[in-house]
Structure 1
């Protein structure tokens, strides 16, 4: 389960309420799936959402079996909670005639995380699958990590950026200060018919040291932490399973400290960071840090590289 912030704990575990019109999903209208922030269980589809002008996200339906109802102690309202983990979502109201379904799930934005419907690939002729997936990893400086994953067969796109912080914006200078809580990450779009998420995880764990907290080599700070931002509950399960297997195999003497969190928002890095190693391979940092890692990666995964 995701490690919650203090405010998330207040709402989800202590049954608090966020201020009206303050949540990020109040006017959200993208196509996709709303999941429980705490356990990633699917709760609502985007087609269930409507604008009730009430200050909180509103839904007039739910995924069957996803939501439990309990009468508040004062008998005035009906609380709704995640069936899987019991996390507080909000309250449900009937008889308002706002939609044909005549029901309104009034949900705190902070209780949910949104998973967008994957876009259609731009390279349909190259890949057999028409359903691309995404993965988001942090493993130190994103110049290194981007170069590695961009070379993998089945990876359609890799973009450097920032994720995992509490601030609603991110840029390189702010993230490097270590005060925003964001990590340097790569946002990967891949074809699961060519390369699986498990294979991406294998590359991730063999291309950095997951036992050093907030550090990769001489790069130190929370922005360089080892982290997997999972897009689905399945990705959470697969990541935790791989970490357990690596721990049991004693691949490293020290315990793995890789963070596993629910993906929320990705902030693309400034344009000059994209394809940095490819464009600036002679730069001293690239020669001393990126190139040795990249050469090691190529020797380990020669059969998985793009031709």
Structure 2
């Protein structure tokens, strides 16, 4: 998972509280669902949210089994935490008559991540998206671009902030960005599970912040998930691979909710296809691509 900031740790792990009216979700009304910031478990749906004018996001219901209630030590209030990871969310109140359900979950914005619902009025395509980091994006792009069912692969940056989204700054390893590929695919031709299978067979997910001689957080193994189903599938895949003991060391692949993708500079597009004779491509990219084509011959275009 993406590491928590000091303030996020203060609220989520030390049971702190953000200032009223300071959180990004206080007046948020988009359609989708709210996930736990720490473990990405789904907590609330947008239809549960209402404006309580209290200074914090308010919900009058929860996704079944997502939230745990515990009476505070002083016996005055009821704390709510993420059932999956125990992260502090806020407190729950009853009897205020604010909605017909007569319940208010008062939640810190910083304890959550919002996952937008697909817009049926604008997203008429059958395609879906996957975003992976597995080392140098020249290698990863060349591998996924060869798959049947993959419509487009774009190299770029994710995990950091917009002002650092350029090759020179990302190469410093200090921006928070990872080199990633943003994949548009047709789920009727290739499934997300199959894309995950390719991802894990095309790089070493047990080396922290490193692929071969490429070292730094920008080369970390990471899956940026676009919805709750992808979170579930990615976690299931990692658990299955761990149990199979394919690698002697544990998998360190990070799973983070997708927030933003910043396309790389245009000269990175189809880099291996255009510059395959360069030394790095010959020594690093080509062996990986050749190995991949042997493993997945039945999935190639």
Q: TM-score when scaled to structure 1?
A: 0.79
Indicate whether 1:11 and 2:15 are aligned. no
Question: In the alignment, what sits opposite 1:281?
Answer: 275
Q: Is the 8 A contact 1:236 1:260 kept in 2?
A: no
User: How much is the aligned-residue C-alpha RMSD, in angstroms?
Assistant: 3.2
Distance 1:58 1:219 in 2: 45
Question: In the alignment, what sits opposite 2:242?
Answer: 244
State how 1:216-255 maps to structure 2 within 5 Å.
216-230=211-225, 231-232=227-228, 233-245=231-243, 248-250=245-247, 255=249
Question: In the alignment, what sits opposite 2:298?
Answer: 303
Question: In the alignment, what sits opposite 2:87?
Answer: 87
Are the structure 2 counterparts of residues 292 and 11 from structure 1 closer, same or farther at C-alpha, using a change threshold of 3 Å?
Answer: same
Question: In the alignment, what sits opposite 1:127?
Answer: none
Distance 1:122 1:151 in 2: 25
Q: Is the 8 A contact 1:162 1:170 kept in 2?
A: no
Q: Is the 8 A contact 2:238 2:251 kept in 1?
A: no
Are the structure 2 counterparts of residues 241 and 159 from structure 1 closer, same or farther at C-alpha, using a change threshold of 3 Å?
Answer: same
Are the structure 2 counterparts of residues 171 and 2 from structure 1 closer, same or farther at C-alpha, using a change threshold of 3 Å?
Answer: closer
Indicate whether 1:258 and 2:256 are aligned. no
Are the structure 2 counterparts of residues 33 and 123 from structure 1 closer, same or farther at C-alpha, using a change threshold of 3 Å?
Answer: closer
Question: In the alignment, what sits opposite 2:108?
Answer: 108
Question: In the alignment, what sits opposite 1:145?
Answer: 140
Q: Is the 8 A contact 1:160 1:273 kept in 2?
A: no
Displacement of 1:2: 7.0
Are the structure 2 counterparts of residues 3 and 209 from structure 1 closer, same or farther at C-alpha, using a change threshold of 3 Å?
Answer: same
Kindly tell me the number of residue pairs found equivalent between the two proteins. 295
Q: Which runs of 5+ in 2 are unaligned?
A: none
Distance 2:220 2:253 in 1: 8
What secondary structure, in the 3-state scheme, does the structure 2 residue paired with 1:159 have? strand
What secondary structure, in the 3-state scheme, does the structure 2 residue paired with 1:261 have? strand
Q: TM-score when scaled to structure 2?
A: 0.80
Displacement of 1:138: 1.0
Displacement of 1:53: 4.6
Q: Is the 8 A contact 1:118 1:133 kept in 2?
A: no
Distance 2:69 2:44 in 1: 15
Are the structure 2 counterparts of residues 271 and 51 from structure 1 closer, same or farther at C-alpha, using a change threshold of 3 Å?
Answer: farther
Q: Is the 8 A contact 1:228 1:259 kept in 2?
A: yes
Q: Which runs of 5+ in 1 are unaligned?
A: 125-129
Distance 2:169 2:53 in 1: 35
Aligned with 1:186 (options 163, 181, 190): 181
Displacement of 1:262: 2.9
